[in-house]
Structure 1
């Protein structure tokens, strides 16, 4: 009988002890809440022991979270631009107790989303709609992130990045931007063609200058002595030819007439 009582007591102790343990994994912290009050020091990874009757452990992820939002962005000219934006954020584990105490577990909807909507409306209203489709997009993303960080960092929320994933411009504006881009591409093509034409003209001018210089050099080298020497060479070549020819010469320059001409 006593052994049975001891066994039951042991099982009861194990049963009461087992729920008082929890495991805090990597990428999260635990915060003890005793009698409704959060402890100041968070729990790091490992086994956490607590009294299940008066204490609970709230786990908070410290990994990077992706919050996707679809909304209309107001532009400087008063247009509404449909956009899909991702907010990458994480929780500062050392400030998790303060975050839970002041905001609670639903901090995405309670704080991050309202702060984001305010920041994105303020920043996008400084830019034209076409800027959101150009290199200005990265500047807009950085400005939104900076403005959000000013509010959220003090609450233990770290905004890592704001990414504008897609932009849907009004149809008329999108068509105008496409036409402008096409015109710019056409202008670039024409500039390329003109550059090629200028290069070809330069090449022709260089060739013409080379031909002119060669002719000048030849002309300068054609002295009377050279012409007389060339004439003698011509007479020698004609003398070796077996064909009948009539040669008329003034002694300097031969003129050849084929013998079979009629």
Structure 2
């Protein structure tokens, strides 16, 4: 076996070193990520330049790149907090967040890669305690879920404003009350509903009674007016008209005998 030339060994060593350096210098940033450059011999974390974007990058082998997920991320939280009267309430919430890309260097320098545990979770828990403590269990169970969701979001957002984190949304998925409190609230709501139904039936019956009274009063007034307008002369004329119509019937035999007490003809006949 032929020996390699003396000059060949250094070339091979240099080539190997170059390959190692290139491998250590080549950085690929995946989709939805960004990189924070750390210059070992030049002030450490780079905060005055934009972070490294998606794609292939070459950096000095003695420098480092810390890769962050910059897409929107979701955190599921089960929060145990106290209501205004001291009862423990469990809130299940979803939190949508992401780092501020332009401040990624500052985020890395001040909070590091575990910024979720350092600032986001404590901020949410603090805001939830503050907000829920303003309401009773009944309000949380029925009418105030949307309100507490918005208030927790606003208070958390204030805390995170200067933490280089962007809070997009907080969604309250469920509010769990102690079983005895939940049953008491449901029972009260049923009673209120039944009371409303009973009041509605009373109002309906009252209106129906008023309608009957008004109709009766109208009929009585009509009869009074009619009675007052019927004189003996009018009654006599109507009687004559009725007699004439009766006499015109082909099934009636009419015999005029004289006059009755009312002055009308007496009619005898059969069919």
Q: Indicate the structure (1 or 2) with the bigger Cα radius of gyration.
A: 2
1:246·1:256 contact (CA, 8 Å) conserved in 2?
yes
Report matched runs for 1:32-181 at 5 Å.
Answer: 32-35=37-40, 37-40=44-47, 41-43=49-51, 45-51=53-59, 53-181=61-189
Q: TM-score, normalised by structure 2?
A: 0.77
Q: Indicate conservation of the 8 Å contact 2:51/2:105, yes or no.
A: no
The 2-side partners of 1:167 and 1:236 are apart by 87
Q: Give the alignment's Cα RMSD to 1 decimal.
A: 3.5
Listed as ranges, the gaps of 5+ residues in structure 2 are 1-10
Show structure 1 runs of 5+ residues with no match: none
Asked if structure 1 preserves the Cα contact closer than 8 Å seen for 2:73 and 2:97, the reply is: yes
User: Do the aligned residues in 2 keep the contact of 1:74 with 1:81 (CA within 8 Å)?
Assistant: yes
From the superposition, tell whether residues 54 and 208 of structure 1 become closer, same or farther in structure 2 (CA, over 3 Å).
farther
Return the alpha-carbon distance in structure 2 between the equivalents of residues 240 and 177 of structure 1: 81
Per-residue deviation, 1:24: 5.3
Segment drifting more, 206-215 vs 98-107: 206-215
Q: Which runs of 4+ in 1 moved over 6 A?
A: 245-248, 254-258
Change (3 A) 1:169 1:245: farther
The match for 2:36 is 31
Partner of 1:22: 28
Which has the higher mean CA deviation after the structures are superposed, 210-219 or 159-168?
A: 210-219
SS in 1 for 2:38: strand
Q: Residue by residue, what CA displacement relative to the aligned partner does 1:170-218 show, whole Å, maximum 9, x if unpaired?
A: 1221111011101110011112212211331232233224423433453
- State how many pairs are aligned: 254
Alignment of 1:207-226 (within 5 A): 207-226=215-234
| Mapped contact 1:79–1:129 kept (Cα < 8 A) | yes
CA-to-aligned-CA distance 1:205-251 (integer Å, 9 cap, x gap): 33224423433453354344432221111111221232457887335
Q: Residues 65 and 89 of structure 1 are in contact (CA less than 8 Å); yes or no, is this contact kept in structure 2?
A: yes
